[in-house]
Amino acid sequence: MYDPRSLKAEEFINHDEILETLRYADENKDNLELIDSIIEKARKRKGLNHREASVLLVCEDKERLDVLYSLAKEIKNDFYGNRIVMFAPLYLSNYCVNGCVYCPYHQKNKHIARKKLSQEEIRREVIALEDMGHKRLALETGEDPVNSPIEYVLESIKTIYSIKHKNGAVRRVNVNIAATSVENYRKLKEAGIGTYILFQETYHKESYEKLHPTGPKHDYAYHTEAMDRAMEGGIDDVGLGVLFGLELYRYEFAGLLMHAEHLEAVHGVGPHTISVPRIKRADDINPDDFDNGISDEVFLKLIALIRIAVPYTGMIISTRENKSVRERALELGISQISGASRTSVGGYAEEDRDEEDSSQFDVSDNRSLDEVVSWLMRNGHIPSFCTACYREGRTGDRFMSLCKSGQIQNCCHPNALMTLKEYLMDYASLETRNIGEALIEKELENIPKENVKNITKERLERIEKGERDFRF
């Protein structure tokens, strides 16, 4: 039944194969010889399959775990250096016809304020985001064919890309909307989206159906097969994720890796990103109602093992997590974070910032973008506002082959420095700017190729004089 090449959800995310994987992992939990051989394989930086990674997930040997955490950090540094890509979510509408029991936007919630942004309101949101320095957005909207049909999403993307405010511009719009048809994915591709993101929520079919009792999202197969339709529609960067806390994390972990293996087997390219949201408190949602919540320790172990299992995949953590968890997660493999997020519809431009009204979840990290940028730099990371690959057409397998050849280091690093420089010139506080200038000076020396280093220096000077938007 299990077939990673199949296009049927229940065959590429096969329940029996997951149960068998968990059994295999339990049996080999103390098999140090096997664990060591899996670690050796992981050192080659070519990834692990779901069975191998599941064995490591149950490993409790302190010495081996320390090795795994160091390896995750090394792999992060090999593929992503010390750069962290910044983004912000933008909520367009919270009308939703689904009944997801963990989300306050579910249709039966009658007291949450429902809002849908007009194009003028989107303009105001985007200007507020550009005024902070954001260049990369993730669009979010509930599923509602009447209030937010695909035409509305397409028009909104067009509006967002059209807004040039002072030196600001949104250069990449990633989209997180409900599973849809090949035809609609094609339209999204034509509208110039970056990554199409869709969280699976849970890979466990029976739980999935209970957690999504009503609405189109109830259909497990349609949801799980969405990435295949997106790829058929021409979108080659797709982002996966599960909502940790809904089901047993070991089940989700195996399912997530099987999904990645499936995409690689069928389309020749794995997921562009994996997000790791954990269930959080929100309007009528209490995370304690879900009994599969995971501790910070388990959460960080999952992050480290995803990094090791899929070394080329970007990993995203949001402001659902607080500063200290984010700080540790960044050391273990996270490559993208959101900053200064508003999880309500219209939350960026609103004067009174009345988040309780329409937010999807409570934010645990409330710092401004300037504070997040400064904190990252003080912790040795380079905040990057780079969107170069997407704009140079380096997506899907073209991106992956560049990444696998190691050449991306000669693009990402200088691009990070140049986009950081733009940020420092246009948006940073004096203190942040001082930290950033010193960091750029130091990091210039870490550009491997001499000619790239010289071009970067010259471009940094031109940015200082007012020019913008350079990229490799």
Binding site for ligand SF4 (CB under 6 A): 85, 96, 98, 100, 103, 105-106, 142-143, 178, 217, 384, 386-389, 408, 411-412, 415
- We find the least distance from the C-beta atom of residue 345 to ligand SF4, in angstroms, to be 11
Cβ proximity to ligand SF4, 18 vs 316, nearer residue:
316
Q: How many residues does the chain have?
A: 472
Q: Which helix (H) or strand (E) holds 244?
A: none
CA distance 207 to 67: 34
Closer of 97 and 182 to ligand SF4 (Cβ): 97
Three-state DSSP string of 254-284: HHHHHHHHHHHHHHCCCCCEEECCECCCECC
Residue number, 59 or 86, with CB nearest to ligand SF4: 86
Query: Whole-number minimum distance, CB 23 to ligand SF4, in Å?
Result: 32
The distance of closest approach from Cβ of residue 342 to ligand SF4 in the complex, given in angstroms and rounded to an integer, is 16
Chain centroid to CA 270: 14
Q: Which is nearer to ligand SF4, 87 or 105 (CB)?
A: 105
Q: Which residues contact 93 (CB under 8 A, 6 or more apart)?
A: 115, 116, 117, 141, 142, 144, 147, 148, 152, 345
- Closer residue to ligand SF4 in complex, CB, 4/245: 245
In the complex, the smallest distance separating the C-beta of residue 20 from ligand SF4, rounded to whole angstroms, is 30
Q: What is the DSSP string of 398-455?
A: HHHHHHHTTTTHHHHHHHHHHHHHHHHHHT--HHHHHHHHHHHHHHHTT-SSHHHHHH
Q: What is the smallest separation between the CB atom of 105 and ligand SF4, expressed in angstroms?
A: 4
Residue placing its CB nearer to ligand SF4 in the complex, 21 or 358: 358
Tokens for 243, please give them: 């909502």
CB of 144 to ligand SF4, least distance (A): 8
Nearer to ligand SF4, 8 or 391 (CB): 391
Q: How far is the CB of 210 from ligand SF4 (least distance, A)?
A: 14
What the block records as the tokens of 229 is 């339709």
Chain center to CA of 335: 9
Rg (Cα) of the chain, in Å, rounded?
Answer: 21
Nearest distance from C-beta of residue 295 to ligand SF4, angstroms: 24
Residue among 59 and 463 whose Cβ is closer to ligand SF4? 463
Alpha carbon 392 to its chain centroid, in Å, reads 20
Distance CA 413, CA 85 (A): 11
